[in-house]
Amino acid sequence: MTVVLLLKKNTSMQLTKFHYDNAIVRNFGVATIFWGIVGMSVGLLAAVQLVWPFMNFELQYSTFGRIRPLHTNAVIFAFVGNAFFMGAYYSLQRLLKARMYSDFLSRVHFWGWQLIILAAAITLPLGLTTSHEYAELEWPIDVGLTIIWVAFGINMFGTIIKRRERHMYVAIWFYIATFITIAVLHIVNSVQLPVSMWKSYYLYAGVQDALVQWWYGHNAVAFFLTTPYLGMMYYFLPKMANRPIYSYKLSILHFWSLIFIYIWAGPHHLLYTALPGWVQSLGVAFSIMLIAPSWGGMINGLLTLRGGWDKVRTEPTLKFMVVALTCYGMATFEGPMLSLKQVNAIAHFTDWIVAHVHVGALGWNGFMTFAILYWLIPRIYKTELYSKKLASTHFWIGTLGILFYAIPMYWAAVVQGLMWREFTPEGVLQNPNFLATTLQIIPMHMLRAIGGAFYLSGALLMVYNLVRTMQQGKLQANEPAEAPELTPVVVNEREPHRRLERKPILFLVLALITILIGGMVQMMPTFMISSNVPTISSVQPYTALEIQGRDLYIREGCVNCHTQTVRPFRSETVRYGEYSKAGEYVYDHPFLWGSKRTGPDLHRIGGKYPHKWHFDHMLDPTITSPGSIMPPYPWLLVQPLDASSTKAKLNAMRILGVPYTDEDINYAEANLQQQADAIAADLSEQGVEIRSDREIIALIAYLQRLGTDISKAPVETATNE
């Protein structure tokens, strides 16, 4: 038994009076509502464009490839992010019985976060993107985000240190894990070499970049969409149900197992790709294990309502919480199932993944956010909710919205996944034209958009309800509270976890170690052992024009609809060509494998069609592919290519390890012009007159290069030896 110095609550002492800061909670709450509506509206616009592409209003700034990342960033970092801060600032103060450490830092955090969101809302439609999913923001915004995140961390830990409650409740553990893990993920996944103010290249290339990105991408879901919400669930659900959490012991096991296991599961996003097989297998194994802690948390939440289910009938907040927990359970069962290779082979790249993500986002994150807003706003405004009936109506419209969204997407996924793989009895593809599989699922996409409209309508009802609630009450910006101060005393404490619960820094370090293990085991061998990424001698760096074309591909967000990784299935090698090898991507900063096939894979598109086909296709996709839902890109035909950045880009690539010679860099612009002239001349022969300095020329150069190097490799001839 260890003798330690404790901060003991002395109940015989006089109570200290202080105030909770409700103004910052209100501010984050209003931001949650505002950005939620914006993010959902952009999502609905994107969904509509997948049926009627002209709904981009023929503007490059509102085209699917650019607004899809705007939608994901808005709902993840603006809607969910602000909701987490709202819930954390409210619950932290009350769980620690202390006002936030610094009102100044609270304001810096709030306004800094909104500024970052605004920067994202401006830069993403402009096409300023890194292309890493959920990490698209360019490096200056990444730096700003880091500073604001640190301000939040200082404010949170400052509050923990000056607390009047000896032990940190389980909600705070989840907040701590969120803080430290997001910091690690963001830093590691944002190591970029700036080329200019709004352009950078990732340090990692190809397979390694893919591993880092999906380690980040998966754990952004884990530690931005899951752990902070679990923390809020552990605080707000007992408050709403007016009964303590079902099992505190289960919450300890839930916390440690969840943060340990989650971090390993990222590679399940890269099954059947060129990622080393052993990393894929580890990802699958840990994904299956993840069911246990996830369901442990869900069960702990649902059992908290034992004996109180009658309240679910009358309290809209509890209705939202029950569906949120149910969706969490469904999504966390579905995720491991999708990571099974046999299931993944059919479901990956289809709408199943979109449905899976939205069951989590709309159900778990959205519904819990609505529940907390309905519960919290009346409390800080010292009034009652304007209309419970409207809130219940919101609940039913929202639930219908989720169903209308998810079910057609599952249906579309099965239809398209099977159509991609279908062969005739003669052994040829039943649907050799990819477009045939896309057109088949258009009705499902229409239903999905209707589901989204339902969900958004419900959220608008909530806005009205909460505005009326605010109008009928008055914000208690500084809420009076009281608690005895903690005084240092020496006591024996037998239980180790109880000791840990009052040591925030030690807790932080242990959580950090726990989340680092999985990432290190997967990344270090992949980065350090050369046999994991075998090189191919015929694979050469991109030319200057191709690099510029690649950056246009990134700017237009082509990666949102097209993959660049052919999996080793007969149905894919027959449709696209030879399956993709790790060595083909060694100069790809960043990797552009994608995660969804709204259109076909492009890794073997090079040389498949003449230049004119690509020209026509970008001018109007329905010229080459009647019925296509890809939007036209007419601006590429009129906008001149900014070739002034070419040398800087090649130089940056050389610093990152791409073997460009001095000659390549010194003559970059001349080489670029020479290749562009050749493409323009070829187009001219086909009857297309276009200047060689237009953006379309660079994009054609890049597309025509894709996946062609492997065909130049020497063919190994079988011998009898």
Partner 1 sequence: MFKQITDLSGNEWYLIASLWIFLLFFITVGIRIFRMRKADAEYLKGIPMDDGEQHDEESLN
Residue 313 binds partner 1 (CB under 8 A): no
CB of 533 to partner 1, least distance (A): 12
> Is the separation of the CB atoms in 553 and 699 below 8 Å?
yes
Q: Does 415 bind partner 1 (CB under 8 A)?
A: no
Q: Between residue 170 and residue 199, which ones bind partner 1 under the rule CB under 8 A?
A: 170-171
| Nearer residue to partner 1 within complex by CB, 171 or 710 | 171
* CB 283, CB 339: distance < 8 Å: yes
Q: Determine if 169 is a binding residue for partner 1 (CB under 8 A).
A: yes
Report, in Å, the least distance between residue 297 CB and partner 1. Answer: 15
| Closer residue to partner 1 (CB): 238 or 632 | 238
Question: Hunting for tokens 């022969």 — which residue is that?
Answer: 685
What is the CA 46 to chain-centroid distance, rounded? 16
When asked if residue 501 is in the footprint of partner 1 (CB under 8 A), the reply is yes
Which H, E and C letters describe 619-669, residue by residue? HCHHHHCCCCCCCCCCHHHHCECCHHHHHHHHHHHHHCCCCCCHHHHHCHH
Which among 44-52, 205-213, 271-279, 563-571 is the span making contact with partner 1, rule CB under 8 A?
A: 271-279
Name which position in 104, 126, 277, 657 contacts partner 1 (CB under 8 A).
Answer: 277
177 contacts 515 by C-beta, under 8 angstroms? yes
Least distance between partner 1 and beta carbon 481 (Å): 4
Residue 281, interface with partner 1 (CB under 8 A)? Answer: yes
Buried b / exposed e over 593-615, threshold 16 CB at 10 Å, is: bbbbbbbbbbbbbbebeebbebb
In angstroms, give the least distance from the CB of 218 to partner 1. Answer: 17
Helices marked H in 529-628: 544-555, 570-575, 611-619, 621-624
Instruction: Give me the residue label for tokens 């969904």.
Output: 47
- 8 or 167: CB nearest partner 1: 167
- If DSSP codes are grouped into helix, strand and coil, which group holds residue 487? strand
Could you tell me which of 530, 526, 603 has the C-alpha nearest to residue 562? 603
- Hey, what amino acid is at 329? G
In 3D, which of 190, 191, 208 has the Cα closest to residue 136?
190
Tell whether residue 256 is a contact of partner 1 (CB under 8 A).
yes
The two three-digit tokens of residue 182, written as one number = 């997001």
229 sits near partner 1 (criterion: CB under 8 A): no
Per CB under 8 A, the list member of 57, 104, 278, 309 interacting with partner 1 is: 278
Q: How far is the CB of 166 from partner 1 (least distance, A)?
A: 10
Select from 212, 284, 444, 461 the one that contacts partner 1 (CB under 8 A). 284
**Which of residues 498 and 570 has its CB atom nearest to partner 1 in the complex?**
498
Does 9 interact with partner 1 (rule: CB under 8 A)? Answer: no
Q: Which residues pair with 490 in a beta bridge?
A: 5
Q: Is 511 in the site for partner 1 (CB under 8 A)?
A: no
Give the per-residue contact string, 96-135, with partner 1 (x = CB under 8 A; - = no). -x--------------------------------------
Does position 89 bind partner 1 by CB under 8 A?
no
DSSP 313-347: HH-HHHHHHHHHHHHHHHHHHHHHHHTSHHHHHHH
Q: Name the residue nearer to partner 1 (CB basis): 99 or 589.
A: 99
| Contact window for partner 1 (CB under 8 A) among 48-56, 238-246, 456-464, 698-706 | 238-246
Question: Residue 98 or 324: which CB sits closer to partner 1?
Answer: 98
Stretch that binds partner 1, among 520-528, 550-558, 608-616, 670-678 (CB under 8 A): 520-528
# binding residues, partner 1 (CB under 8 A)? 62
Contact of 326 with 287, CB cutoff 8 Å: no
Q: What is the DSSP-derived secondary structure letter of residue 596?
A: B
| 235 lies in the binding site for partner 1 (CB under 8 A) | yes
Rg (CA), the chain: 27
Selected range binding partner 1 among 382-390, 410-418, 623-631, 711-719, rule: CB under 8 A: 382-390
Q: CB of residue 566 vs partner 1: minimum separation in angstroms?
A: 20
Question: Site for partner 1 (CB under 8 A): which residue of 8, 107, 186, 239?
Answer: 239
Please say whether the beta carbons of 80 and 86 come within 8 A.
no
Report 466-485 residues binding partner 1 (CB under 8 A): 479-483
Provide the residue type at 293 as one letter.
Answer: P
Among the listed residues 69, 266, 276, 557, the single contact to partner 1 using CB under 8 A = 276
Identify the residue among 95, 128, 630, 676 touching partner 1 (CB under 8 A).
95
Which DSSP state fits 424?
Answer: -
Residues between 321 and 380 with contacts to partner 1, criterion CB under 8 A: 375, 378-379
* CA separation for the pair 181, 511 (Å, rounded): 8
Question: How far is Cα 536 from Cα 708, in angstroms, rounded to an integer?
Answer: 12
Q: Is residue 164 a contact point for partner 1 (CB under 8 A)? A: yes
When asked if residue 509 is in the footprint of partner 1 (CB under 8 A), the reply is no
Give the angle 123-129-132 at the CA atoms, nearest 5°: 140
User: Min. distance of Cβ 528 from partner 1 in angstroms?
Assistant: 8
**End-to-end CA distance of the chain, in Å?**
71
Considering beta carbons, is residue 119 or 253 the nearer one to partner 1? 253
3-class DSSP string for 187-249:
HHHCCEEEEECCEEEECCCHHHHHHHHHHHHHHHHHHHHHHHHHHHHHHHHHHHHCCCCCCHH
Q: How far is the CB of 459 from partner 1 (least distance, A)?
A: 20
Minimal distance in Å, beta carbon 372 to partner 1?
Answer: 13
3-state SS assignment for residue 475:
coil
- Find the binder of partner 1 among 529, 574, 655, 670 (CB under 8 A): 529
- Stretch near partner 1 under the rule CB under 8 A, chosen from 187-195, 409-417, 458-466, 517-525: 517-525
Nearer Cβ to partner 1 (91/416): 91
Distance in Å, CB of 277 to partner 1, minimum? 4
Q: How many CB atoms lie within 10 A of CB 315?
A: 20
Cα 445 to Cα 448: distance, rounded to the nearest angstrom: 5
- Cβ neighbors of 416 (< 8 A, separation 6 or more) are 350, 351, 437, 438, 440, 441
Near partner 1 by CB under 8 A: residue from 498, 503, 691, 712: 498
CB atoms within 10 A of CB 576: 22
d(CA 623, CA 591): 30
- Please state, in angstroms and rounded to a whole number, the distance separating the CA atoms of residues 27 and 75: 17
Complex with partner 1: residue 491 or 718, whichever CB lies closer: 491
Binder among 2, 12, 14, 531 for partner 1 (CB under 8 A): 531
What is the C-alpha to C-alpha distance for residues 114 and 318, in angstroms, rounded to an integer? 30
Q: Give the integer Cα–Cα distance in Å for 228 and 207.
A: 30
167 lies in the binding site for partner 1 (CB under 8 A)? yes
- Indicate which single residue of 521, 536, 643, 648 sits in contact with partner 1 (rule: CB under 8 A): 521
494 binds partner 1 (CB under 8 A): yes
Residues that bind partner 1 (CB under 8 A): 20, 91, 94-95, 97, 164-165, 167, 169-171, 234-235, 238-239, 242, 244-245, 247-249, 252-253, 256-257, 260, 276-278, 280-282, 284-285, 375, 378-379, 382-385, 479-483, 494-498, 501, 514, 517-518, 520-521, 524-525, 529, 531-532
